[in-house]
A = this chain, B = another copy of it.
Amino acid sequence: MSQVTSIDVARLAGVSQATVSRALRDIRGTSEATRARVRAAARELGYVPQQSGRSLATRLTNRIGIVTGELANPFYPALVAPMVERLHEHGYLAVLIPDEDLDDLDPVQLIDGSLDGVLLTTIHQDSRLPAELSRRGVPRVLVNRDVSLGDEDASVADNVAGARQVARLLLAAGHRRIAFLGGPPTVRTNVQRAEAFRAALERHGIGVSARLWSYGPFDLDHGRLAFARFMAQDAPPTAVFCANDVLALGALEAARAARLAVPRDVTVVGFDDIPMAALSMIDLTTVGCDLDAMARSAADLLIDRIADPGRPARRLVHPTRLVLRGTHGPPPGNPDI
């Protein structure tokens, strides 16, 4: 229980406590001889410097917060895993801050000095969190989700380009009745994908009916429900573009439940290319945006920001590409392409 402290080590090594602190950090101003003696004493006592003492003195914690949605939603592990790994490579430990994604997160845990910085993956368009963190001087990076005001470090996908690619794909395949199965209307990532998609369709003279347009949570259930609602209409869509892969998974579930064959009866396209999408049992056609790179570069951005709090904000927009797999095809009864 009674932890070994640097004082105990000092006593055993016959030096002062300050010297122990210096020697163990290989700091200039300690002779090799004492360093060896101190190290030996530390090893003998099984001494490990206590983080709380160190943090209080240095104001550094080597901890970085990741504000994340439910890890049960497979999108988040896909994003969080590479971040954790990258942070670890840089000597940081990740602290998970669960966010229910509804109203604004209580920022106390982010500003109590227990974190050197924060990665934000659940920001809504109207969130006051970035401003609050800014006031407090907490280094932060927005990941995947963006905000409209542009002076925040961010690592996001090129949502507009991705949505356009999907529009082109579907139109080229001959689809005309196309649905959009979207995420929350307050999430900028979703809005960007939605608006770019709508604009691309309208540019080709395809009107979008409100009945083929759904906003809701980024989860399986909304995917299932909205898809079922689409397909139950008099003129069901021949293709459904889902604002992310989790929604698409829900759509595929619902299709199977309704005995609809994909892509023969209906085309389903996702966005993100989460690892699951590549499983041959799922084989989802989607927009790839290299989540790994997005996550890693977000971590790098934050580490950079911590080192240089004054530098101008940087926003990394990662390119997207169509990942053509097995859930897209021509509309039923229109077997061209």
Contacts and interface: CB of A to CB of B under 8 A. Distances in A.
Contacts of A51: 112-114
Contacts of A113: 3, 48, 50-52
A89 B194 CA distance: 35
Interface in A202-244: none
A70 B157 CA distance: 24
Contact of A108 (B48, B80, B135): B48
Contact of A81 (B70, B111, B112): B70
Contacts of A111: 48
A256 B276 contact: no
Interface stretch (A93-101, A146-154, A184-192, A300-308): A93-101
Interface in A104-161: 108-109, 111-114, 135-137
B281 A252 contact: yes
A26 to B, nearest CB: 16
Interface in A264-282: 275-276, 279-282
Contacts of A97: 93
A261 to B, nearest CB: 12
A276 B275 contact: no
A139 to B, nearest CB: 12
Report, nearest first, the 4 A-B pairs whose CB atoms are least far apart.
A71-B81, A51-B114, A52-B55, A77-B77
Interface of A: 1, 3, 46, 48-53, 55-56, 59, 61, 63, 70-72, 74, 76-78, 80-82, 84-85, 88, 93-98, 108-109, 111-114, 135-137, 249, 252-253, 256-257, 275-276, 279-282
Given A252-B281, A279-B282, 9 more contacts: A48-B113, A49-B112, A50-B112, A55-B55, A71-B71, A84-B96, A93-B97, A253-B280, A253-B281
